[in-house]
């Protein structure tokens, strides 16, 4: 299965720093893909195509095959060990040769398993970090997009309000001098032009895709997720689809933690069983090891398929995301290229609208200044609406600068880069660590399953209460030990000398 | 020492999401601080004050005290074990009581040590991630600040060039009509005003503080740092201060990895020594354990002092950084508050300059349009400089929008937030994990040091070659085993049955 690790060749995106996982995996050869009829499948990321899905399912099936093979191997080994032992003379209580190495190899396998568990915890945490980085970047992008919409709405409403009230009042006041009324009408036209230009800047308005929804969809592997949908908690009986997603999503990260803890407990209790030579504990732990072995191979299949899919995605994310976003949002190529590429070669698609708005705002300002100079000495009642209009203009110009900053590609492109880094660096790295954990634990558990029954056969018969508490030896064991046993050494077991 | 963990109470900064470490540590009581005369010291972060430095040094000294106490305890325990053993009858080769529990407790201690090593690797990686996030945020902020300076410089140069060439040509061409010359002079005045306003926007020009320098100073705990200063590599003999910093910085992260690997090797070889009952290996590993114990307590002191200092810093970072930046840069409070707080309450300090520049640019545009309408039919040679001026104006307006986006607090404040999160979330969390590693390994090594000589005393005498390779037992051991030994059980050691 290690060729999957080689396969995952992440190429640096246009985002900037090369992905960290790529540092380890660059130049790995592409694994050939195949569908269920074993026809080759191109390795481009295309999750909606059936043959690509089949190629991923085939990866899962390979893990199933590995599980089957290892189970067959263990069964054959144990059957051979149980049935094909050389006949011992009856009454010979000496353990079979190589017993010490069997127990110590079991301990070594469990230590390897514990190392794998440590790696698994690290991988789970990395994956969760990566996904949480992705989802926080998406939420931030959503915040920017909605802020643009709100700001545009606010500016347009403010300008409309000014046109409806102050400019109308001003026209009524200045009605005696036609050239001043004309200047006021000019300002009104400019304000309407600004409002119209601004409305074209709220490009995300009415777009059916919400980054927050995407963030919620991907956050099912996140660590620090809480059940914040109260309706799910209060109406336990009527669990709708969203609540089910919520519950499932909380459980994904937790499932890995539970699997890791289960394997850790199995390893530790097996060691305890060996130390106390407790037969029932070792038997229970053998059964549990079998269970965890199946779970490990299952998780390995899922991880391998996800890693293969993710590495395909991460090898050229820009094109795929650009096409997907174009389809989902219906936005023009110029806008999407501007935000997804954000370099000198792509010009700002809002440049013209911004410049026109800016010029119109400056024109309104000079017209208002002209009116103040000309009209206020003659019509003192014009001063109040003029001051109010200048105040509106100042606020609008401040908001305009904020809008320019929000619309610039820097912010949204940085979110895009952070999201990609979260997914293709941290999450992919975490997945590879999880894969390593699954590999190590599958190997360690298979070794332990082979050696545990052999170690168990070395235990003194019928002595289930052996412990540090100073229980006494049972009779058959005492009898056996009364003969000289030159091959046994004084490796201390967990027992006190009877006083 | 666990009270240090409670102490580290991180409060959410104004940056946004509450720091993650705070989730674990919120509400921890403040540990009383003291200087060398044990006078209480306020817990505010003040690294330049002598009494605060003394309080941190006292934390290091506490770790030294812990090391001394644990060494004394181990020495007393071992002396008591060696000298005060109950006299055994000569020739009695049976091991002392409780031997099994001694070896298994030694194994358990080494397992705890291995768990600590796993935690240490995680903590080292988290710390390095946090510091690399901090330094990447600082580099990004530096990029923004220098981009502002360069953009302003470019715009001012472009406007100056236009004033010097095109506008002068235009004046010469239109010299016959004074009202057109006046309009051209008006445009020249506006252009000069824009250039003057713009120069005031390059607020970081001439500031002696460089975020990149800060990033280089803090990156001494970073993981993926390479020796990029070639002069350090080529002129090995003349190592200057910068090169020394470079070399030291590469070694900080590496030092932890080496310490962790050393401890892992000590644990594994001790287990191997116990398994093979190899006396010399256990003796060497006992000495190595003593060395690693000293190193663990040393690292614990450093980590505790750093964690205390960092938690003091992170409990209210804004005020400290604001004051420090004001001192270092000499920038006004309005600018610093705008970037460090970046909320609705703080207005953009560049608002007025931006608005004035924007209006002046719009005025230039309308004047140029007027000139084009009036002058070009009469003076066709005026068309070329006018077109060139409009081109310059368009580029300047595009650059102006970019400048507005760069000057807005969103970008720089996001970098500040990312830097703080890196330091106060990831790096602090990693430090706490490293502290936990040091605690676990100090405890585990002290236990191992107490039990290793006792386990070693249980080994069969003079049998250094015992191994899985099937070597034969030495005579004294054979002789000893010929007596009935009812308290020994058949826990298998690493030895084959002689054929």
The interface predicted TM-score of the complex, written ipTM, equals: 0.75
Q: Which of A200-209, A335-344, A424-433 has the lowest mean pLDDT?
A: A200-209
Nearest CA in chain A to B352: A398
The larger pLDDT score, comparing residue A232 to residue B419, is at B419
Nearest CA in chain A to B466: A489
Of B401, B466, B498, which is closest to A354 when you measure between CB atoms? B401
**Is A491 in contact with B277 (Cβ distance < 8 A)?**
yes
Q: For chain B, first and last CA: distance in Å?
A: 55
**Is B487 in contact with A466 (Cβ distance < 8 A)?**
no
Query: Chain A closest CA to B104's CA: distance in Å?
Result: 7
DSSP assignment of B191-235 equals HHHHHHHHHTT-TTTT-S--HHHHHHHHGGG-SS-----HHHHH-
Query: Treating both helix axes as pointing N-terminal to C-terminal, what angle do B99-162 and A241-276 enclose, rounded to 10 degrees?
Result: 140
Length of chain B: 499
| Spatial distance between the Cα atoms of A276 and A467, rounded to a whole number of angstroms | 5
What percent of chain A clears pLDDT 70, i.e. is strictly above it? 74
B30: left (phi over 0), alpha (psi -120 to 50) or beta: beta
pLDDT of residue B3: 36
A487: left (phi over 0), alpha (psi -120 to 50) or beta: alpha
Residues in chain B with CB shorter than 8 Å from the CB of A348 are: 398, 401
Number of A:B CB contacts under 8 A? 211
Query: Chain B closest CA to A121's CA: distance in Å?
Result: 9
Type and span of the H or E element at B33: strand B33-34
Q: Is the pLDDT of residue A406 over 80?
A: yes
**Is A401 in contact with B404 (Cβ distance < 8 A)?**
yes
Of A363, A482, A494, which is closest to B104 when you measure between CB atoms? A494
DSSP assignment of A200-258 equals TT-TTTT-S--HHHHHHHHGGG-SS-----HHHHH--SS--HHHHHHHHHHHHHHHHHH
The larger pLDDT score, comparing residue B459 to residue A233, is at B459
Q: CB of B367 within 8 A of CB of B159?
A: no
Query: Chain A closest CA to B59's CA: distance in Å?
Result: 30
pLDDT of residue B301: 94
Q: CB of A247 within 8 A of CB of A232?
A: yes
**Is B361 in contact with A365 (Cβ distance < 8 A)?**
no
Q: CB of B48 within 8 A of CB of B328?
A: no
**Is A397 in contact with B458 (Cβ distance < 8 A)?**
no
Task: Give this prediction's pTM.
Answer: 0.78
pLDDT of residue B480: 34
pLDDT of residue B280: 87
The larger pLDDT score, comparing residue A44 to residue A80, is at A80
Q: CB of A414 within 8 A of CB of B418?
A: no
pLDDT of residue B107: 79
Query: Chain A closest CA to B29's CA: distance in Å?
Result: 25
**Is B404 in contact with A404 (Cβ distance < 8 A)?**
yes
Best to test chain B binding among A125, A479, A492 (most B CBs inside 10 Å): A492
Counting DSSP H helices and E strands in chain B, the numbers are 17, 2
Q: What is the number of other CB atoms lying within 10 angstroms of the CB of residue B426?
A: 24
**Is B397 in contact with A358 (Cβ distance < 8 A)?**
yes
- Where chain B has pLDDT below 50, the residues are 1-20, 22-29, 92-93, 95, 225-231, 233-239, 249, 463-499
Of A115, A136, A487, which is closest to B497 when you measure between CB atoms? A487
| Spatial distance between the Cα atoms of A454 and A75, rounded to a whole number of angstroms | 13
Of B366, B460, B496, which is closest to A98 when you measure between CB atoms? B496
Query: Chain A closest CA to B405's CA: distance in Å?
Result: 4
| Spatial distance between the Cα atoms of B180 and B185, rounded to a whole number of angstroms | 9
pLDDT of residue A221: 56
Nearest CA in chain A to B487: A497
Q: CB of A484 within 8 A of CB of A302?
A: no
Q: Print the SS3 string covering A350-370.
A: CHHHHHHHHHHHHHHHHHHHH
| Spatial distance between the Cα atoms of A132 and A139, rounded to a whole number of angstroms | 10
Nearest CA in chain B to A393: B355
Best to test chain A binding among B270, B490, B493 (most A CBs inside 10 Å): B490
Query: Chain B closest CA to A92's CA: distance in Å?
Result: 14
Residues in chain A with CB shorter than 8 Å from the CB of B275 are: 104, 107
**Is A489 in contact with B482 (Cβ distance < 8 A)?**
no
DSSP state of A201: T
Burial of B79 (0-12, 13-18, 19+ CB in 10 A): exposed
| Spatial distance between the Cα atoms of A193 and B270, rounded to a whole number of angstroms | 82
Residues in chain B with CB shorter than 8 Å from the CB of A135 are: none
User: Who's near A188: CB < 8 A, 6+ residues apart?
Assistant: A163, A167, A171
**Is B100 in contact with A460 (Cβ distance < 8 A)?**
no
pLDDT of residue B215: 82
pLDDT of residue A460: 73
**Is B493 in contact with A121 (Cβ distance < 8 A)?**
no
Best to test chain B binding among A395, A468, A487, A499 (most B CBs inside 10 Å): A487
Segment A47-51 shows an average pLDDT of 82
**Is A496 in contact with B101 (Cβ distance < 8 A)?**
yes
Nearest CA in chain B to A144: B410
What percent of chain A clears pLDDT 90, i.e. is strictly above it? 29
Query: Chain B closest CA to A175's CA: distance in Å?
Result: 27
Best to test chain A binding among B273, B455, B489 (most A CBs inside 10 Å): B489
**Is B490 in contact with A351 (Cβ distance < 8 A)?**
no
Of A351, A458, A498, which is closest to B398 when you measure between CB atoms? A351
Segment A74-80 shows an average pLDDT of 90
Query: Chain B closest CA to A201's CA: distance in Å?
Result: 14
DSSP state of A65: H
pLDDT of residue A374: 85
pLDDT of residue A377: 86
Nearest CA in chain B to A133: B418
Of B115, B458, B492, which is closest to A103 when you measure between CB atoms? B492
**Is B101 in contact with A351 (Cβ distance < 8 A)?**
no
Query: Chain B closest CA to A404's CA: distance in Å?
Result: 6
| Spatial distance between the Cα atoms of A138 and A416, rounded to a whole number of angstroms | 8
């Amino acid at each position: 299965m290690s060729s999957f690790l080689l396969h995952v060749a992440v190429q640096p995106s246009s985002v900037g720093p090369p992905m960290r996982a790529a540092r380890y995996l660059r130049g790995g050869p592409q694994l050939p893909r195949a569908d269920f009829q074993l026809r080759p499948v191109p390795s481009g990321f295309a999750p909606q195509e059936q043959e690509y899905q089949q190629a991923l399912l085939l990866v899962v099936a390979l893990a199933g095959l590995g599980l089957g093979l290892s189970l067959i191997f263990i069964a054959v080994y144990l059957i051979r060990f149980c049935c094909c032992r050389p006949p011992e003379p009856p009454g010979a209580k000496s353990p079979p040769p190589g017993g010490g190495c069997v127990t110590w190899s079991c301990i070594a396998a469990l230590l390897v398993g514990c190392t794998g568990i440590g790696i698994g915890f690290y991988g789970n945490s990395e994956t969760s970090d990566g996904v949480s980085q992705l989802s926080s970047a998406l939420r931030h992008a959503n915040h920017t997009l909605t802020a643009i919409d709100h700001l545009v709405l606010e500016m347009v409403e403010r300008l409309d309000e000014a046109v409806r009230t102050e400019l109308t009042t001003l026209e009524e006041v200045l009605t005696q001098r036609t050239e001043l009324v004309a200047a006021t009408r000019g300002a009104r036209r400019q304000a309407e032009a600004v409002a119209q230009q601004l409305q074209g800047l709220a490009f995300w308005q009415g777009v059916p895709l919400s980054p927050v929804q995407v963030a919620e969809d991907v956050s099912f592997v996140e660590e620090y997720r809480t059940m914040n949908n109260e309706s799910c908690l209060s109406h336990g009986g009527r669990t709708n689809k969203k609540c089910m997603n919520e519950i499932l999503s909380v459980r994904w990260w937790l499932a890995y933690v539970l699997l890791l803890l289960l394997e850790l407990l199995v390893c530790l209790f097996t060691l305890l069983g060996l130390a106390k030579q407790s037969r029932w504990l070792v038997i229970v732990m053998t059964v549990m090891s079998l269970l965890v072995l199946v779970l490990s191979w299952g998780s390995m299949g899922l991880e391998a398929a996800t890693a293969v899919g993710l590495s395909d995605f991460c090898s050229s994310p820009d094109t795929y995301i650009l096409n997907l976003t174009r389809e989902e949002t219906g936005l023009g190529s110029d806008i999407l290229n501007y935000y997804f590429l954000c370099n000198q070669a792509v010009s700002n698609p809002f440049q013209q609208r911004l410049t026109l708005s800016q010029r119109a705002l400056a024109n309104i300002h000079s017209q208002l200044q002209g009116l103040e100079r000309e009209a206020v000495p003659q019509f003192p009642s014009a001063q109040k609406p003029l001051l109010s209009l200048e105040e509106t203009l100042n606020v609008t110009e401040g908001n305009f600068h904020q809008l320019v900053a929000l619309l610039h590609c820097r912010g949204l492109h940085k979110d895009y880069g952070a999201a990609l880094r979260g997914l293709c660096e941290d999450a992919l790295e975490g997945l590879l660590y999880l894969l390593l954990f699954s590999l190590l634990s599958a190997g360690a558990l298979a070794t332990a399953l082979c050696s545990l029954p052999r170690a168990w056969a070395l235990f003194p018969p019928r002595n289930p209460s052996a412990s540090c508490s100073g229980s006494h030896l049972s009779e058959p064991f005492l009898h056996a030990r009364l003969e000289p046993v030159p091959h046994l050494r004084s490796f201390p077991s967990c027992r006190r000398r009877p006083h």
